Amino acid sequence: MILAIDIGNTNVVIGVVDEDKIYFIERVATLKTKTEAEYAIDLKILLELHNVEVSDITGGIISSVVPQITKMVQKAAQMVISKDVLVLDNSTKTGLKILIDNPEQLGSDMVAGAVAAIKRYSVPMVIVDMGTATTLTVVDKDENCLGGMIVPGVMVALESLTAHASQLHGISLEAPKKVIGRNTIDCMVNGIVYSNADMIDGLVDRIESELGEKVNIVATGGLAKLITPYCRREITLDDDLLLKGLLIIYNMNK
């Protein structure tokens, strides 16, 4: 089993995985003010909470879109498991054929998600990852990563809306009861949820028009569970996609 970590702008996703099992997946806040020791304590506590023996972990791998803390989390993980921890970067073997203008610009989280999706699902496909940003990654029928789209995430949109309305702070997202809201909070929640669902449907329609063929859609990320049930398109939800991709990449490079 390995320790797999994805450092995002809002959360650090931490999991222990092997070929047959996800032992756990947890999230802690991404804080640039945390020290190496504090991240090590987070990791140690999570392993103990889920009864994972450090001696059973053979190594680790990190993907990150927050370079300021990548090295710190790597050192913290190595401190806890006493094994080398790989950081996914441009020198890492992934097997992914990236056809964007500058392959180095593709986020390591998008790389890991695409690697896992290609192995688990049929191409062509669109991978929708809903975190701080919502990203759509397009993989063609020949398993080439063509690029995609990056749009403001669900919570970014909600926070932007409430930040400019003094009476609307502290709204949390939940499943809409109806499309038409009957009070201000319901109107805002419905607007955020349905607009994001329709955005995904609409962007995939445009992607299919450009590719000239139908695609499978795989969704992952912390907010996918909330949004994808309201999409009109058939979407496969895979919460484990990114960590499974990190496991595949780790095995290629160990």
Give Cβ neighbours of residue 79 (< 8 Å, ≥ 6 apart): 36, 40
Annotation marks residue 84 as catalytic = no
d(CA 42, CA 80): 10
Token pair for residue 140?
């063609």
d(CA 15, CA 4): 5
d(CA 108, CA 15): 17
**51 phi-psi bin (left φ>0, alpha ψ -120 to 50, beta other):** left
Point out the catalytic residue in the list 42, 109, 129, 238.
109
Q: Is 75 helix (H, G, I), strand (E, B) or coil?
A: helix
The H-assigned helical ranges of the chain are 36-49, 67-81, 108-120, 154-163, 184-211, 224-227, 241-253
In Å, what is the CA distance from 164 to each residue of 134, 160, 188?
22, 7, 13
Cβ burial 102-135 (10 Å sphere, 16+ → b, else e): eeeebbbbbbbbbbbbbebbeebbbbbbbbbbbb
Catalytic residue list: 109
